[in-house]
Structure 1
Amino acid sequence: MGRMQITRFGHAAVLVEAAGSRVLIDPGVFSPDETFALEGLDAIVVTHQHPDHLDQDRYGGLLERNPDALLLCDPETASIAQVGDWSTNGDGVETVVSDLTLRGVGAQHAVILPTIPRIGNVGVMVSAAGEPTLFHPGDSYEHAPEGVDVLALPLSAPWTKLSETVDFVQRVAPTTLFPVHDRTISEAAYGIYWGQLTAHSGVQDARLLGQTDATTA
């Protein structure tokens, strides 16, 4: 199996480098400026419209630096995006980028409160022949696709609780995982969340295996 390089850029933003291609997922408001200075991207994928997944004020510059990148997002985000020619992703939709395949997973954001309308959310699986398969679910624990080697795991949000997080990991059953969606946890409490998750899910942290570079926690 080939070596996929994964770099975290704060909260939900993840750069995936595999099969000679570079894909950036969810460049949001909690991500540092260096996220929006990336160049040489083959695709930019946004799972949903919330600002912690797409920074409307900064992503225009990212598109200018990557004019040939495929832009892929859920249908609702495509309808409101202020800049760029976005293609729509959907559950089961496969988009080929060079030797990579991007497959959409799911359709809706997790329930935050019964009184808050649910918006669209399409997670993404990134795969290529001879490479591990990565799954970034966006903001949802609803779907547990088969064949996931590396899980980008949303660790904390208004829609999560730890028992559901552990259950999600066990249903996906990845080989390894690493945290995303974690800027809502204080530094003092972070070890409690992650320690409980790894202890009870039984899945090893991909960072301990050298599969990810955590550039920004």
Structure 2
Amino acid sequence: MRITHLGHACLLVEIGDARILLDPGTFSPAAADQRDLDAVLVTHQHADHLDVDRLPDLLAANDGAQLLVDPESAELLRGKGIEAQPVAGGDTATVKGVTVTGVGEMHALIHDEVPRIHNTGMRLSADGEPTFFHPGDALDAEPGQVDVLAFPLSAPWSRSRDMTAFLRRLEAPHAVPIHDAILSDVGRKLYLTQAGNLGCATTRIHDLAGGRSEDFTT
């Protein structure tokens, strides 16, 4: 498995024979340049995870790529003439031998006056490959055993202690920080330090900021 961080919550995951792009939002312009994709996955409809304006061109440049999104995003996109396969918690889909499993139901609470929306975390698994989980914007999902975990560094809906508790609860051998576009360089370093010092002691954190890639094996 190879993972490339394309900014904020957007990751390119190359697993088995598949190239899968997750959460190509407005804070991740590099997502628009991706080619030879087999699938585009979206956890929820917020613009920093789903760039509705750029999505048609991305799909046109990747003819045949499956579009798998949470149910509310599927409804939103259908209204704009874009057909997508809805994936809710417990649903599965297959992308070139990779099993995509939806995990969870709701976006984390931002504020009592902000209505909650649907959020589907995406778990990827394939024979002979590490398992991977992208939680979207929620920290309460139960994806089961995970080898590589994407974890939000900072968000309006999350405290740093929530982030470190998420790392401790899932105890993944490897973790990749995401959801970091709202942080300054100083703030990002602070949150990464907290993740390392206060998260899971057995989790190795791989910072892929700046479009870096890393390979993971079982």
Q: TM-score range by the shorter chain?
A: over 0.9
Name the counterpart of 2:192. 194
TM-score by length of 2: 0.92
The question of whether the paired residues in 2 share the 8 Å contact of 1:63 and 1:84 is answered with no
Could you list the per-position Cα deviations for residues 95-144 of structure 1 after superposition, in whole angstroms to 9, with x for gaps in the alignment? 01111000000111000001111001001001101100110000000113
Matches within 5 A, 1:30-45: 30-32=27-29, 34-45=30-41
Matches within 5 A, 1:62-141: 62-81=58-77, 82-141=80-139
Looking at structure 2, the residues matched to 160 and 140 of structure 1 have their Cα atoms a distance apart, in angstroms, of 9
5+ residue gaps, structure 1, are: none
Deviation, 1:83, is: 4.5
In structure 2, the residue corresponding to 1:169 is in which secondary structure? helix
5+ residue gaps, structure 2, are: 213-218
Deviation, 1:213, is: 7.6
Asked if 1:22 is matched to 2:19, the reply is yes
Looking at structure 2, the residues matched to 80 and 7 of structure 1 have their Cα atoms a distance apart, in angstroms, of 28
The question of whether the paired residues in 2 share the 8 Å contact of 1:36 and 1:62 is answered with yes
Could you list the per-position Cα deviations for residues 53-74 of structure 1 after superposition, in whole angstroms to 9, with x for gaps in the alignment? 0111211110101120110101
Looking at structure 2, the residues matched to 101 and 178 of structure 1 have their Cα atoms a distance apart, in angstroms, of 20
The question of whether the paired residues in 2 share the 8 Å contact of 1:108 and 1:121 is answered with yes
**Alignment-mate amino acid for residue 21 of structure 1:** A
The question of whether the paired residues in 2 share the 8 Å contact of 1:15 and 1:24 is answered with yes
**Alignment-mate amino acid for residue 5 of structure 1:** R
4+ residue stretches of structure 1 with deviation over 3 A? none
Name the counterpart of 1:149. 147
Deviation, 1:147, is: 1.1
Looking at structure 1, the residues matched to 209 and 154 of structure 2 have their Cα atoms a distance apart, in angstroms, of 20
**Corresponding residue pairs, total:** 208
The question of whether the paired residues in 2 share the 8 Å contact of 1:91 and 1:105 is answered with yes
In structure 2, the residue corresponding to 1:215 is in which secondary structure? coil
The question of whether the paired residues in 2 share the 8 Å contact of 1:150 and 1:206 is answered with no
In structure 1, the residue corresponding to 2:101 is in which secondary structure? strand
Asked if 1:55 is matched to 2:51, the reply is yes
Identity %: 41
Looking at structure 1, the residues matched to 176 and 61 of structure 2 have their Cα atoms a distance apart, in angstroms, of 28
Looking at structure 1, the residues matched to 205 and 210 of structure 2 have their Cα atoms a distance apart, in angstroms, of 12
Name the counterpart of 1:7. 4
Looking at structure 1, the residues matched to 187 and 138 of structure 2 have their Cα atoms a distance apart, in angstroms, of 23
Deviation, 1:87, is: 0.3
Deviates further, 194-203 or 117-126:
194-203
Name the counterpart of 2:159. 161
Looking at structure 2, the residues matched to 58 and 148 of structure 1 have their Cα atoms a distance apart, in angstroms, of 31
Could you list the per-position Cα deviations for residues 7-66 of structure 1 after superposition, in whole angstroms to 9, with x for gaps in the alignment? 01000100000111100000000112x311211111100000000001112111101011
Could you list the per-position Cα deviations for residues 146-177 of structure 1 after superposition, in whole angstroms to 9, with x for gaps in the alignment? 21000110110000001111111111110110
Looking at structure 1, the residues matched to 40 and 119 of structure 2 have their Cα atoms a distance apart, in angstroms, of 15
Looking at structure 2, the residues matched to 132 and 83 of structure 1 have their Cα atoms a distance apart, in angstroms, of 35
Looking at structure 1, the residues matched to 34 and 177 of structure 2 have their Cα atoms a distance apart, in angstroms, of 21
Deviation, 1:84, is: 2.5
In structure 1, the residue corresponding to 2:211 is in which secondary structure? strand
The question of whether the paired residues in 1 share the 8 Å contact of 2:27 and 2:48 is answered with yes
**Alignment-mate amino acid for residue 58 of structure 2:** L
The question of whether the paired residues in 2 share the 8 Å contact of 1:19 and 1:99 is answered with yes
Looking at structure 2, the residues matched to 189 and 75 of structure 1 have their Cα atoms a distance apart, in angstroms, of 34
